[in-house]
Structure 1
Amino acid sequence: MEDLAQLKVLPTVGPVAEAVFAVDLFRRGGGGAPFTRWRDAVNLRMRRVQPVPVTPRVPRPAGPPASQDGTGGGAWLFDLLAQEQEGTSGDGEHPPDPVVRRMLQLGVAPYWGKARGYLQIDRDYRCRVMAGGGIEGMLRNLHTWVGWRPPTLTIASGRGGEIQLRGRGLAIVPSLFIDRPRIFTGPRDEQRTPVLVYPTILDSAAANTLWDSAGADDRALAALVGRTRARVLEALTETCNTSELGRRLGISPAAASQHAAVLRGAGLITSRRRFNTMLHSLTPLGSALVTVGSPVPKPLTDRGDQGLELTLAP
C-alpha cells in the first residue's frame, strides 16, 4: 500500500533522454513502419552535417534492473529526469556524448513540440483511467508487455529478476522513442524511486502528424498568448509553485507571478495556496491549448507476458 500510495505518472523523460532512446532505436532500425519517415529524415539530415565518431560513449539505454551487488543501470536517466522536472533540461541542452547531441538536434528537437503534447495526452489518459478505475485499472492497461497481479507488476523484459520496492514507490513515464517497457533503478543505498518507462503507441496516422511537425515548434501558441506565456503554459504540464516556475523559465519569481496572474485571469491556469507558497496548474482549457494539434495516442488494453517482476511491498 505504501508503494501504491507513492505511484506517480509523469508526462515525459525529456528530450535529452528521448535522444538516448532514439540513438538505440535508430541503430537497431526499431519502431517498425511508423518510424520509417523519421529514420529517412534523420538519415538525410545526418548526411548534411559533419560526421561524429562512430563509437560514441552513449549511456546504456537500459541497464540491468538490479545486479548482484545491488546497483542499477539507470543513474543517467534519474539525472535527466530530475532536470526535466526542475525545468533545467530542454532542446537547448548539450549532452556531452556527440551522437546523443546530434540525435537531439536532428532526430528529436525538430519534432519535440508535437511529441511533448502527444506524451502529455498519453499521460492524461492514464490519469483518467486511474481516476475512474483505480491504480489497478491503470496498471492492467499500461502496455501489452506489462501485467498486474497484486502485489506484482510483471514486465516482459527478456531477463529474469525481482525488485522489491519496499516503500520507494514507482514512477511511470511514457516515451516516444523507446520501443519496449524498461525499468531503471539506482543503487539500493540511495533509495531512489525506480522508473518504469513505457512506449506510447504510435500508429501510422499519428506518426504522419508528428513527422510533419518538423520546424513547426510552438509558434502557433506563442502567437496566441505571447512567447513567454506560452512557455509558462508548457512549464505547467507539471504543477509547481511560483519560485519553481521562475526557475524553469529563467525569470524572476515576481515576473513568473505576473504572467501566472494574466493566464489565471484568462482561465488557462488555476492557483491555490499551500502553506506559504502558491501552486499553479493548468486548467482543462490551458491543457488543451498546450496539446492542440498533437495526435492522440490509442490506449493499450491488452495484457502482457511474464518477465521481470516488480513486487510492491505488502
Structure 2
Amino acid sequence: MKTEDFNYYLPEELIAQHPSDKRDNARMLVLDRKTGEREDKVFYDIIDYLNPGDVLVMNDTRVIPARLFGHREGKEESIEVFLLNNIEGKKWEVLVRPGKKMKIGSQVIFSDDLSCEVIDIKEDGNRVIEFDYEGVFGEILDRLGNMPLPPYIKEKLKDPEDYQTVYSKNPGSVAAPTAGLHFTKELLERIEAKGVKLAFLTLNVGLGTFRPVNEEEITDHKMHSEFYTLNQETADIINSAHQNGKRVIAVGTTSVRTLESIYEKCGEIRADSGWTEIFIYPGFEYKAVDCLITNFHLPKSTLIMLVAAFTSREIILDAYKYAVEEKYRFFSFGDCMFIK
C-alpha cells in the first residue's frame, strides 16, 4: 500500500488557525463507516447520536509548555530546547535548535533559576539533557515555557487553555488530543445525564504525531512511540459496555491507539501502562472501538491511515473531498467527524 494512496487536495485557507468561538459550535460531519452516508451537523448534536450505556473514552493528558528558549553561557544566540520525554527525574529527551552547537557538556541558561546540560546525543540527533533548578519544575515550566503549537498554525494563541481539553489533568503531552477540544463541561454534563458513561485514559502525545510518512510503502514507516496508562475503573466501564452490547466511542486517535494497543497485547481491555508503537492502517481489524470522534487529519499522515482503517480508504477520501468542497475547517483547531 502506497503512502500516496492517502493524499488529498487541501486549500491552505481551510487549515484552522484558531478554535471555534464556542468549542461545541464546531461543525461535525457524521459518517456511516459501512455505507459512507453523510450528515452535516454541529458538534453539540453529538448527544443525539449517543445512547444510554454507551461509553465515551477520552484522553485526559495535558499539554505542557514544552518550548524553552535560552542561550549558551557567554553567548547571545538563542537556543530552543523542545521537551519530548521525561526519562527520569531531571533528565529529558529533547530537540534542540541549532543542534550542531549543542555537544555533550554544552549548557543552556533559561533564567536565573533554570539551566540544563547536554549529557548524551542519541542516534537520531535528539539530545538528553539534565536540568538544574530549585523548586517545582512544573511551576517553572509554566512561567518560562511556550505552548508547542503545530507548525501549520501560524497565529499566536490568545489563551493557552484553548489548546487544552476541558478535562485535561495529567501533564505530559507536546500536542493536544484535538478531538476532545470540542467538548464543553456543560455538554459533558448533558451527555452524562443521558446515561452515557465517561471513561478516561492517558496517552502522552509525542511530536511524532506531526511527522509525515516519507516512505513510498507505508509498511516501511517506523512508528513513533508514546506512553499510555489505563486504570482499572476505565477497564471495568469498557468491559461492562462490551458485555451488555453497548458501544465504546473513542474520542480521538490517541484513545484508539491506547485501547487497540491494550487489546492487541492482552486479548482484552484491562488496566495497563506502557509504550505503544501501534501502526493502524487499512487491513487492521478493530476489536476495542465501535465509533470514533476525530478531527480532519493531514494528507499522507499515519492518522488519516488509522481513520481509513476504521472505514475504508475510499469512503474516508470521499468524505474528505466532500469536507473540502463544503469548506469544513481542518486539523487541530478545525471541525470534526463522528464515524459510526
TM-score range, shorter chain: under 0.3
**What is the TM-score of this pair, normalised by structure 2?**
0.24
**What is the TM-score of this pair, normalised by structure 1?**
0.26
From the CA coordinates, give the structure whose radius of gyration is larger.
Answer: 2
**Higher helix proportion, which one?**
1
**Higher strand proportion, which one?**
2
